[in-house]
Amino acid sequence: MIDFRSDTVTQPCKNMRRLMSNAMVGDDVYGDDPTVNELEQYSSKKHGFEASLFVSSGTQANLLAILAHCDRGDEYLCGQDAHNYKYEAGGAAVLGSVQPQPIENLPDGRICLDKVAAAIKPNDFHFARTKMLSLENTIGGQVLGLDYLKDARALTKKYALKQHLDGARVYNAAIALGVDVKEISQYFDSMTVCLSKGLGAPVGSLLMGDFEFIEKARRLRKMLGGGMRQAGILAAAGIYALKNNVNRLAEDHDNARYLAQRVNELPGFDSSSYDVQTNLVFLNVDESVNMQAFAEVMFSNGINVTPGYQGMRLVTHSGVNKDKIDVFIDTAKSYFKID
């Protein structure tokens, strides 16, 4: 199956599987899984933080960050399209009684910092207390530049807010910017990294911050049922991913640009309105195209796409190369009966 739905469908490679099968393990709830401890220590140093916590998912990592930075009745600021606001089932509000205050994202993914400043509540008991600004890099495949991150940091320091990064695809951002990941992480009090997207691990995310923050998050993880036992089998995959699979993300970006060009050969498909900066390709699809029927025929031919995602979204990853993109385009042309 050629799968364009998401980079979450990546499969662990043979070397990663071998390390997983040979991983030393212990009970991580007791803190004695050596491979989890190695992953947390390695990732802290790699990203420039004091401490790190290995968790089951990016959703859990973001939730822990919000709950560790904010108390009940507080609020955090984020983009209208932020994953931790729009796509994580309202966890901060439901489980933490923390109010999200969304602000419109600009077409390039940024949030206007003047609007951020205007949304910060005064010290008045009528209002929720603003505690944190959450940014996402990448967001919708768009990369937030270092100058913007620096300006956002200056603003949050001015108003004594914490600054959190949803860095699910932060390595895509680092590769696109041509910088070490620390050039991004330096502007944040906390940060998440997803290991199971383009980095290719089967499960897991990291949450990073200072010692006090991570200890609070560790307690919250237990409260949420996130304590894992012999998790070193999964942590071994995370170590391999961080050490071996970062630079290859550039291939995904190159393949995404190729895919964006070729998909315009299909009638009713147009990628020209969207800037392809990383591994996400967005399309406008004409109403004349029956997307459900198209997706079903593609699936019957071994190609998996998601119909109706903001028109359409296609994602490149380690399981998609240029040859497979060509197969998709040729199969789609056959569907539309064009040469």
CB atoms within 10 A of CB 339: 4
User: Are the CB atoms for 66 and 207 separated by under 8 Å?
Assistant: no
Find, among 2, 30, 70, 74, the residue nearest to 230 by Cα.
30
Going by C-alpha positions, the residue among 181, 104, 201, 91 that lies closest to residue 137 is 181
Q: What is the mean pLDDT of residues 54-70?
A: 98
Q: In order of start, what are the domains of the chain with their CATH numbers?
A: 7-244 (3.40.640.10), 248-336 (3.90.1150.10)
Sign of CA pseudo-dihedral 69, 62, 245, 107: negative
- 75-88 per-position pLDDT tens digit: 999 999 999 999 99
Mean pLDDT throughout 89-102?
96
How much is the pTM?
A: 0.95
**Structure tokens of 227?**
């304590």
Q: What is the mean pLDDT of residues 286-310?
A: 90
Q: What's the pLDDT tens digit per position in 243-278?
A: 999 999 999 999 999 999 999 999 999 999 999 999
What are residue 216's phi and psi, to 5 degrees?
-65, -45
Asked if 139 and 171 touch (Cβ cutoff 8 Å), the reply is no
Residues 200 and 158: their CA atoms lie apart, in Å, by 38
Q: What percent of the chain is predicted at pLDDT more than 90?
A: 96
- Over 70: is that where the pLDDT of 291 sits? yes
Kindly give, in sequence order, each residue whose CB lies less than 8 Å from that of residue 160, ignoring residues fewer than 6 positions away: none
Confidence tier at 302 by pLDDT (50, 70, 90) = very high
Using a pLDDT cut of 70, give the percent of the chain over it.
99
SS3 label, residue 3: strand
